[in-house]
Amino acid sequence: MSADGKLVRDRIPEIIRASGAEPVTYQADPAEFRRRLRDKLLEEVDEFLQADDATAVEELADILEVVYALAADLGTTTEALETTRAAKAGERGAFTDRTIWAGTR
């Protein structure tokens, strides 16, 4: 953890208290929260990239939690985010075909 702390899930202070320690926390203002969410996304993506197959799905769930928080911070819902994702997949496709683009001729 950095010297200035890090964004954690809402129940982490409760879990720390249950272990007998007293967490030092504060609530981020909106600008710091947005910055910290972006930092958390990078952290979670890195953890996913380092994960083996046994823990990869759990790491993807962490990424999704951060993405949902970012969507809410940007004023949208998970449903609207999914609608946008589905529309983009309908227009440009998804990644199910495993297509690799190697340039043009």
pLDDT at residue 1 above 70? no
Tens of pLDDT, residue by residue over 39-62, are 999 999 999 999 999 999 999 999
Spatial distance between the Cα atoms of 27 and 48, rounded to a whole number of angstroms: 27
pTM: 0.88
User: Domain spans of the chain?
Assistant: 29-78
Helix 53-73 to helix 78-92 angle (10° resolution) is: 110
CA angle 26, 33, 39 (to 5 degrees): 110
Spatial contact of 44 and 64, defined as CB atoms under 8 Å apart: no
Q: What is the rounded average pLDDT for all residues in the chain?
A: 96
